[in-house]
């Protein structure tokens, strides 16, 4: 058996706060996650029933956790580290909203669906500043698994490199696939992606340790779309944002699309509509989002505009589409 490989996926915990009294829900949630998020203190940001679900799975030398909960914050301080020592690394993937991390003296705003590495051996503050629910997926990795890759770089530089890296785009795609597999109960399939994810982190680390020259000449349309695909859910995202992330000019991006007889604006709209369609189909039960939340989370600044372009693309408004796919869920 290779390093890190496991024969089975063990369920560590799978629980919800359903059925608990309002005043009990948050404390129960904190107790449920403390075995995975060692020495991390959650903090409420709203006084309401804490309707949460949490599951965690053992993948050999890693742990994978899925959380759906109201917006909240978490922090780890020197006191926490002294009481609960742990130097694991967390690869976080939040596909419901942007998140914010303060660590290593850097205040970092992270777009939805952008992988983020957090060092549990150092102080940090983490939150989802936007209103609404937070869907957070975390892969807890023993530091030893990444120690060779960290010899010539650090987590801050890796996080900086993710949105500019071809391998960063692949990492985001692989995390999305892993999260989808676990969400559908395909535990072994999801677990099989762990080693690829760790390898991709290593590739991003290698890129972050060296200067990236001549991107203007080597950047492909496929790479541009891969990087743009997981930033498209940000309503403020556009060609200028993408150009800055890729360290190229907007004209370079436009020329790559033109060479394929496409335009960036048409591709972005189609991608956002596809993302909205997927979320309408997946938004059920306790994780059900309103049409407005889905529209905003998929990059649309106006719900009216979202209704109009969705009807043009799919022949019916978003609400009717969801009702036809999931009868009885409205």
Q: How far is CA 227 from CA 186, 222, 271, in A?
A: 26, 9, 12
Query: Which residue has 């719900």 as its token pair?
Result: 303
Where helices occur in the chain by DSSP H, the ranges are 22-33, 78-83, 143-146, 155-161, 166-183, 187-191, 194-208, 215-218, 221-229, 239-246, 250-259, 264-282, 291-297, 303-314, 318-325
Residues 6+ apart with CB under 8 A from 54: 13, 14, 15, 16, 29, 32, 33, 65, 66, 67, 68, 69
Structure confidence at residue 300 (pLDDT):
93
Splitting the chain (330 residues) into consecutive groups of 10 residues, what average pLDDT does each group show?
57 92 90 88 81 94 93 92 93 92 90 95 89 90 89 86 90 94 92 94 84 53 82 88 80 91 95 89 69 91 94 91 65
Domain boundaries for CATH 2.60.120.10 within the chain: 10-208
For domain 213-330, give the fold: Arc Repressor Mutant, subunit A (1.10.10)
Structure confidence at residue 75 (pLDDT):
94
54-58-61-65 Cα dihedral, nearest 10 degrees = -20
Question: Are the C-beta atoms of residues 13 and 54 closer than 8 Å to each other?
Answer: yes
Residues 6+ apart with CB under 8 A from 74: 37, 40, 41, 42, 43, 125, 126, 127
Question: Are the C-beta atoms of residues 300 and 272 closer than 8 Å to each other?
Answer: yes
Structure confidence at residue 67 (pLDDT):
94
SS3 60: coil
SS3 48: coil
Domain boundaries for CATH 1.10.10.60 within the chain: 213-330
Q: CA 13, 175, 90, 135 torsion: positive or negative?
A: negative
Structure confidence at residue 108 (pLDDT):
92
First to last CA, the chain: 48
Query: What element of type H or E holds 141?
Result: strand 133-141
Radius of gyration for the alpha carbons in the chain, expressed in angstroms and rounded: 20
DSSP bridge partners of 152 = none
For domain 10-208, give the fold: Jelly Rolls (2.60.120)
Query: What element of type H or E holds 107?
Result: strand 106-110
Question: Are the C-beta atoms of residues 158 and 131 closer than 8 Å to each other?
Answer: no
HEC profile of 108-137: EEECCCCCEEEECCCCEEEECCCCCEEEEE
């Amino acid at each position: 058996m290779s390093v890190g490989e496991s024969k089975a996926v063990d369920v560590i915990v799978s629980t919800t706060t359903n059925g608990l009294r309002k005043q009990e829900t948050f404390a129960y949630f904190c107790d449920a996650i403390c075995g995975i998020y060692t020495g991390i203190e959650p903090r409420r940001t709203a006084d309401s029933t804490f309707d949460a679900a949490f599951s965690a799975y053992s993948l050999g030398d890693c742990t994978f956790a899925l959380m759906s909960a109201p917006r909240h914050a978490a922090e780890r301080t020197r006191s926490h580290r002294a009481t609960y020592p742990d130097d694991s690394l967390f690869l976080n993937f939040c596909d419901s909203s942007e998140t914010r991390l303060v660590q290593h003296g850097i205040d970092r705003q992270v777009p939805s669906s952008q992988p983020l590495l957090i060092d549990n051996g150092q102080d940090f503050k983490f939150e989802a500043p936007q209103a609404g629910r937070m869907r957070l997926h975390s892969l807890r990795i023993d530091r030893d698994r990444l120690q060779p890759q960290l010899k010539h770089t650090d987590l801050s530089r890796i996080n900086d490199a993710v949105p500019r890296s071809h391998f960063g785009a692949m990492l985001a795609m692989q995390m999305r696939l892993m999260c989808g597999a676990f969400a559908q109960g395909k535990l072994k399939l999801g677990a099989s992606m762990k080693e690829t994810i760790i390898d991709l982190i290593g590739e991003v680390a290698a890129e972050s340790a060296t200067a990236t020259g001549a991107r203007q000449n080597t950047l492909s349309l496929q790479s541009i779309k891969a990087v743009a695909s997981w930033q498209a859910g940000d309503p403020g995202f556009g060609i200028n944002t993408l150009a800055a992330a890729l360290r190229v000019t907007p004209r370079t991006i436009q020329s790559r699309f033109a060479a394929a007889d496409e335009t960036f604006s048409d591709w972005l709209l189609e991608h956002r509509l596809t993302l909205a369609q997927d979320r309408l189909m997946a938004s059920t039960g306790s994780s059900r989002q309103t049409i407005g939340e889905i529209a905003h989370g998929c990059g649309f600044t106006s719900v009216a505009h979202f209704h109009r372009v969705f009807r043009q693309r799919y022949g019916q408004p978003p609400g009717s589409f969801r009702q036809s796919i999931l009868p009885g869920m409205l």
